[in-house]
Structure 1
Amino acid sequence: MNSKKSVIAVSIATVALVLGSIAPAQADWKADLVTKGTLTNCIDPEYPPMEYYANGTSGKIIGFDADSSAALAKELKVKIKQLATSFDGLIPALVAGRCDIVWTALYLSNKRLAVADGVPYLETGPGVVVAKGNPKKITDISFSLCGTRIAVQGASANEGLVKAQDKICKDTGKKPIAISSYPKVAETVAALLNGKVDGIVETDVACGDIVNKNAKRLEVAKGYFLGDVSFAVYMQKGSDLTPAVKKAVEKLISNGTLAKIAKKYNLDPEKLTTTGEPI
């Protein structure tokens, strides 16, 4: 009788082991998500090649950040949900708990790190898009911007950088910068093409995309604000998700996953990074 019980026990254990081996892999991290089993990413799909609608105005969101966040979700063994969010509402949405991460071309900045955790993933830096021939002779962000009309996306780190330079212009007795802030990058481009501004201050990846689409009329001015800035993916401050995201991003960089995505969107894989200094 005891031998029969032993056989049954061994059989049950064997079945359990087999079932365990074919069961779906479970995540090796613990964190409460907005939706169980789904990683919700707040993303502003108005910023090619980082994030944009596949058909231009609606539908599936694609781009480096969109694809990378999907790869992150796969690594974390959950599904991905892209939640379209206006640029100025990204961090507020994260803080309010409407999304788990914000992976959408945001600088690693001290202001954002005050309210959220950030993990760097791509080196970048501001550039200036100007009319072909650079009629205002803008060469960098220093005094060549004084007295010019510059468009920026409102509530962006670049807006803050231009305002800081404007103060320097004024403090040194030079002409101020006429700053025009717009909700969307596309509106800054329209302003430049229509002659309302002399230049657009944007990230280098956005500058490249803007010029590629308007090669006959626009170009990138020589020089950048900063040469050592990083984009970062953000999580809620002190979130249990942060270490898991950091580990996953590092793995996705080291195993070549993000490099493959970068090449897909004509970005330089050499700029992928796991470190960065906030601005």
Structure 2
Amino acid sequence: MKKIFALLLTLAMVLSLAACGGDSTETTEETTEDTQTEETTDSTGTADFTTVEEGKLIMSTNAAFPPYEMTDDSGAVVGIDADIAAAIAEKLGLELQIDDMDFDSALLAVQQGKSDIVMAGVSITDDRLLVMDFTDSYATGVQVVIVKEGSDVTMDNLGEKMIGTQRGTTGYIYASDTPENGGYGEDHVVAYDNGITAVQALMNGQVDCVIIDNGPAQEFVAANAGLTILETPWVEEQYSIGVNKGNTALLDAVNGALNELIADGTVQSIIDSYITAE
């Protein structure tokens, strides 16, 4: 009888231990699942990216490209790009700081880690892709040719004329390329620090025409009597936001905010406020 009682007692202890072991396994699995959820949440949060200066989104630009960027009477940079950048910064919980400089320097500022983004009517080229990463496009740019009224300049004889462009822009890059690649050669192209200076050179007879984006072109023609724009567009391209090469976290954050602003109509509303449909 004692043997039977001892056997039953042993069996009860084994079953008890087995039950405790099952509870321990479930607790471990639940703890593991909770930990994995927390890690996933942390890894996908917007706090992963860093900026040049904590709490700020620094944008480099060339504020001589109206209506995308220009200065108001107080000297502040305003325009399509400035407003879009401000909306992006707000979505990211950052304060926008805009640094105005010449176009080449604006591109270099991002590459050298002096600014977080560059917006200046920037289009994507193969050379720029080597040193910068880009967001999705937010606007379409049409390059046109400004001439004096009564000029004999046409799309067919541009290669015989002197062309003014803004230094570092795709207008300069494409126009100064060799004829074999669709350009007119460096001998036929003069690069200026900004579009305003290029248009002044046209007014002074130093060049025969100016190749520039249609938005600024319309502004320059409206402000300077005696200028007109050739009817046929010269080239069409897409504008994007540039960030330093390999800065994937910032690129994803900016691109995500940009696409939200495109989807809810904010970007188009900003563009429409500066460019009235003809």
* Superposition TM-score, scaled by structure 2 size: 0.77
Alignment of 1:71-110 (within 5 A): 71-110=87-126
User: Any conservation in 2 of the 1:167–1:176 contact (CA below 8 Å)?
Assistant: no
Taking the aligned partners of 1:125 and 1:224, their CA distance within structure 2 comes to 7
User: Any conservation in 1 of the 2:153–2:209 contact (CA below 8 Å)?
Assistant: no
Taking the aligned partners of 2:252 and 2:108, their CA distance within structure 1 comes to 21
Structure 1 consecutive aligned stretches of length 4 or more whose deviation exceeds 4 Å: 165-171
**Quick one: structure 1 residues 96 and 255, their matched pair in 2 at CA, closer, same or farther if it must change by over 3 Å?**
same
Give the alignment partner of residue 155 of structure 1, picking from 145, 158, 168: 168
CA apart distance, 1:82: 0.6
Q: Is the aligned partner of 1:62 residue 2:78?
A: yes
Taking the aligned partners of 2:183 and 2:193, their CA distance within structure 1 comes to 26
CA apart distance, 1:144: 1.9
The residue number in structure 1 matching 2:228 is 219
CA RMSD of aligned residues (A): 2.2
**Quick one: structure 1 residues 64 and 176, their matched pair in 2 at CA, closer, same or farther if it must change by over 3 Å?**
closer
User: Any conservation in 2 of the 1:39–1:73 contact (CA below 8 Å)?
Assistant: yes
Give the alignment partner of residue 232 of structure 1, picking from 230, 234, 240: 240
The residue number in structure 2 matching 1:30 is 48
Taking the aligned partners of 2:226 and 2:269, their CA distance within structure 1 comes to 31
CA apart distance, 1:178: 2.6
User: Any conservation in 1 of the 2:132–2:242 contact (CA below 8 Å)?
Assistant: yes
Taking the aligned partners of 1:79 and 1:147, their CA distance within structure 2 comes to 48
Alignment of 1:1-279 (within 5 A): 28-55=46-73, 59-119=75-135, 120-133=137-150, 135-138=151-154, 140=155, 143-164=156-177, 166=179, 178-214=188-224, 216-227=225-236, 229-239=237-247, 240-266=249-275
User: Any conservation in 1 of the 2:176–2:186 contact (CA below 8 Å)?
Assistant: no
CA apart distance, 1:201: 0.5
What amino acid is the match of 2:121?
A: A
CA apart distance, 1:85: 2.1
Q: Which has the higher helix share?
A: 2
**Quick one: structure 1 residues 106 and 127, their matched pair in 2 at CA, closer, same or farther if it must change by over 3 Å?**
same
Q: What is the CA deviation profile of residues 107-141 of structure 1, one whole-angstrom value per residue up to 9, with x for unaligned ones?
A: 122211111111121111211001113x2231x3x
What amino acid is the match of 1:233?
A: I
Q: Which has the higher strand share?
A: 1
CA apart distance, 1:176: 8.7
**Quick one: structure 1 residues 170 and 60, their matched pair in 2 at CA, closer, same or farther if it must change by over 3 Å?**
closer
**Quick one: structure 1 residues 255 and 170, their matched pair in 2 at CA, closer, same or farther if it must change by over 3 Å?**
closer
Taking the aligned partners of 2:75 and 2:226, their CA distance within structure 1 comes to 30
**Quick one: structure 1 residues 166 and 210, their matched pair in 2 at CA, closer, same or farther if it must change by over 3 Å?**
farther
User: Any conservation in 1 of the 2:162–2:207 contact (CA below 8 Å)?
Assistant: yes
Structure 2 residues without counterparts, runs of 5 or longer:
1-44
User: Any conservation in 2 of the 1:146–1:169 contact (CA below 8 Å)?
Assistant: no
Taking the aligned partners of 2:192 and 2:258, their CA distance within structure 1 comes to 32
SS at match of 1:36: coil
CA apart distance, 1:167: 5.6
**Quick one: structure 1 residues 267 and 82, their matched pair in 2 at CA, closer, same or farther if it must change by over 3 Å?**
farther
What amino acid is the match of 1:106?
A: V
Query: Which structure has the larger Rg over C-alpha atoms?
Result: 2
The residue number in structure 2 matching 1:20 is none
Taking the aligned partners of 1:78 and 1:233, their CA distance within structure 2 comes to 17
Taking the aligned partners of 2:163 and 2:64, their CA distance within structure 1 comes to 20
CA apart distance, 1:170: 9.7
Taking the aligned partners of 2:123 and 2:246, their CA distance within structure 1 comes to 19
User: Any conservation in 2 of the 1:189–1:210 contact (CA below 8 Å)?
Assistant: yes
Taking the aligned partners of 2:213 and 2:246, their CA distance within structure 1 comes to 28
Aligned length: 231
Taking the aligned partners of 2:165 and 2:54, their CA distance within structure 1 comes to 38
The residue number in structure 2 matching 1:275 is none
Structure 1 residues without counterparts, runs of 5 or longer:
1-26, 269-279
**Quick one: structure 1 residues 176 and 183, their matched pair in 2 at CA, closer, same or farther if it must change by over 3 Å?**
closer
